Amino acid sequence: MYSVIIPTMWKCDRFQQTLRELSEHPLVGEIILIDNTSNELKIELPKLIHILEGKNTYVTAPWNKGARMAKYDKLLILNDDIWMDWQLLNTLYDFITPEIGLIGLDETPYNVYPTLSFGLEPIERRNGGWGCALFVHKDNYTPIPEDMKVWGQDDWLFVKCRNRRKQNYKLVGFRINGELSVTNTILDTDSDIQEIRENDLRLKQQYNLF
């Protein structure tokens, strides 16, 4: 079974439908929803664990909290602004093991039918958009330093797996629907977020996440 971990600020109009689809999937055991808002939206889904933070806890803290809470070994860490054919959960199920690193997305734009054949391609450096959906075995999730709040989480996990000689992959030939970083685009006008971005990039260099 999967534990699905999703931080949200409810900026994607389609997100509730995504939650319903995931809740209906037979391989999803639980959805850990880290709600970075103070609105008390009532959502009744049988597999949903709705954690209302009451404030913006950004990205790293929700990922770490979700991984700690997860009952199942197979994790899907998902942006709230993308969706896909969830049959992919069946296809990747046997690949999410302690023996391999992480499986992320390729750089194909969203809402575009792929030209490549479906498969997993080994990579030594992550591409843009790779961390918008991450499949990983719980044994290969290394807690991320929480002073790095919004950017660099996928770099941290990627490098930690690579350093342990666990091969990382990108998913190719598969259509992803959505909008890239809807929440980040909205928050880009926030001066506090700009300050966090600068600090996160500095920490990425400090932690040698390249």
pTM: 0.94
pLDDT for 47-95, tens place per residue?
999 999 999 999 999 999 999 999 999 999 999 999 999 999 999 999 9
Calculate mean pLDDT across residues 181-196.
68
**Residue 186: per-residue pLDDT:** 56
Q: Report the candidate in 114, 118, 92, 87 with the shortest Cα–Cα distance to residue 103.
A: 92
Amino acid at 115: T
Lowest mean pLDDT across 36-40, 47-51, 59-63, 116-120: 36-40
**Residue 42: per-residue pLDDT:** 82
**Residue 53: per-residue pLDDT:** 96
**Residue 72: per-residue pLDDT:** 98
Q: 208 — alpha (psi -120 to 50), left (phi > 0) or beta?
A: left
**Residue 58: per-residue pLDDT:** 95
**Residue 160: per-residue pLDDT:** 97
Render the chain in DSSP notation, one character per residue.
Answer: -EEEEEEE-S--TTHHHHHHHHHH-TTEEEEEEEE-S--------TTEEEEE-SS--TTHHHHHHHHHH-SSSEEEEE-TTEE--TTHHHHHGGG-STTS-EEEE-SPPTT---SSPSEEEEESSPPTTGGGEEEEEGGG-PPPPTTS-SS-HHHHHHHHHHHTTPPEEEEES---EE-TTHHHHHHTT-HHHHHHHHHHHHHHHHTT--
pLDDT above 60: residue 108: yes
**Residue 189: per-residue pLDDT:** 59
Q: Where are the domains of the chain?
A: 2-206
Calculate mean pLDDT across residues 103-111.
93
pLDDT for 129-185, tens place per residue?
999 999 999 999 999 999 999 999 999 999 999 999 999 999 999 999 998 655 556
CATH architecture of residue range(s) 2-206: Alpha-Beta Complex (3.90)
**Residue 194: per-residue pLDDT:** 85
Whether the Cβ atoms of residue 38 and residue 103 lie closer than 8 Å to each other: no
